[in-house]
């Protein structure tokens, strides 16, 4: 089944066709059903239902909030879901702000305070490139003054650094996509024949 669905998806490379559409719909349907089953077994039952029915009555609050989310399906009472959504947005926003401040802002600023004269020539060059690239890239995003003169030159240098980073990201993306193709080809050549007791390639 996995092999036939893989080949059906690959058929899209020739052109769009009913086989590909069928595989796509099967995937979406199974993924949705699987997630619902997993959420019920791994989240709802152990973290809410069982503790609630065994005396942890404070859990009635998140239970009611969860039920309120289903009010989205009604046109008359869908405003009730805003209570639950508001709580979720507030919680995640608070966590995100702390996480960003701790993990990204402070730590990264600290890490980029490197000596411009290090022990070796390579480290010195590397540190200078880091500092110059960081400052030039930041200058590019400073829009309170027109990019002319020294500011404009710094911004243009910043663009070059940004383009290099985009190129590196593109290269890694290519690597990821080729890896997915390799994974499917290894499945079709090794795992699929092995299920019939056939060794197609060594």
Partner 1 sequence: MERFDRRYIFLVIFIIVLFPLIWPIKLPIRVSKEAMGAYEAIDKIPPGSKVYFACDYDPGSMPELHPMTIAILNHLFSHDVKVIGGCLWPGAAPLLEDALNKVGVQKFGKKYGVDFVNLGYKEGREVVMVSVGRDIPATFPDDFYGTPVSQLPIMKGVRNLNDLAMIVNISAGYPGTKEWVQQVQSRYHVILAAGCTAVSAPEYYPYYQSGQLVGLLGGLAGAAEYEKLVGVPGTATRGMDAQSLGHLAIIAFIVLGNILYLYLKKKGKLTRR
Task: Measure Cα distances from 201 to 181, 185, 194, 198 in Å.
Answer: 17, 12, 10, 9
Spatial distance between the Cα atoms of 84 and 166, rounded to a whole number of angstroms: 39
Q: Is 38 in the site for partner 1 (CB under 8 A)?
A: yes
Q: Is 62 in the site for partner 1 (CB under 8 A)?
A: no
Q: Is 165 in the site for partner 1 (CB under 8 A)?
A: yes
- Is the sign of the CA dihedral 165, 170, 171, 176 positive or negative? positive
Select from 58-66, 67-75, 77-85, 179-187 the region that touches partner 1 (CB under 8 A).
179-187
Among 146, 176, 195, 196, binds partner 1 (CB under 8 A): 176
Identity of the residue, 5 or 159, whose beta carbon is nearer to partner 1 in the bound complex: 5
Identity of the residue, 25 or 145, whose beta carbon is nearer to partner 1 in the bound complex: 25
Identity of the residue, 3 or 51, whose beta carbon is nearer to partner 1 in the bound complex: 51
31: tokens are: 């993924």
Q: Is 70 in the site for partner 1 (CB under 8 A)?
A: no
Give the helix, strand, coil percentages of the chain, each rounded to 5. Answer: 80, 0, 20
């Amino acid at each position: 089944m996995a092999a036939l669905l893989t080949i059906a998806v690959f058929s899209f490379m020739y052109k769009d066709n009913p086989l590909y559409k069928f595989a796509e719909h099967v995937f979406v349907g199974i993924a949705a059903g699987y997630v619902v089953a997993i959420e019920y077994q791994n989240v709802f039952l152990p973290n809410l239902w069982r503790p609630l029915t065994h005396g942890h009555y404070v859990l009635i609050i998140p239970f009611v909030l969860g039920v309120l989310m289903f009010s989205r399906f009604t046109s008359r009472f869908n405003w009730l879901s805003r209570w639950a959504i508001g709580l979720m947005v507030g919680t995640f926003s608070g966590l995100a702000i702390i996480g960003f401040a701790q993990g990204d802002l402070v730590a990264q600023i600290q890490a980029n305070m490197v000596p411009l004269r290090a022990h070796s020539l390579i480290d010195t060059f590397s540190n200078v490139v880091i500092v110059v690239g960081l400052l030039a890239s930041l200058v590019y995003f400073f829009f309170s003054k027109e990019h002319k003169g020294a500011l404009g030159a710094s911004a243009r240098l910043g663009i070059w650094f940004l383009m290099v980073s985009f190129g590196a990201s593109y290269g890694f993306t290519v690597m990821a996509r080729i890896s997915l193709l390799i994974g499917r080809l290894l499945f079709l050549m090794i795992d699929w024949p092995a299920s019939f007791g056939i060794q197609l390639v060594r």
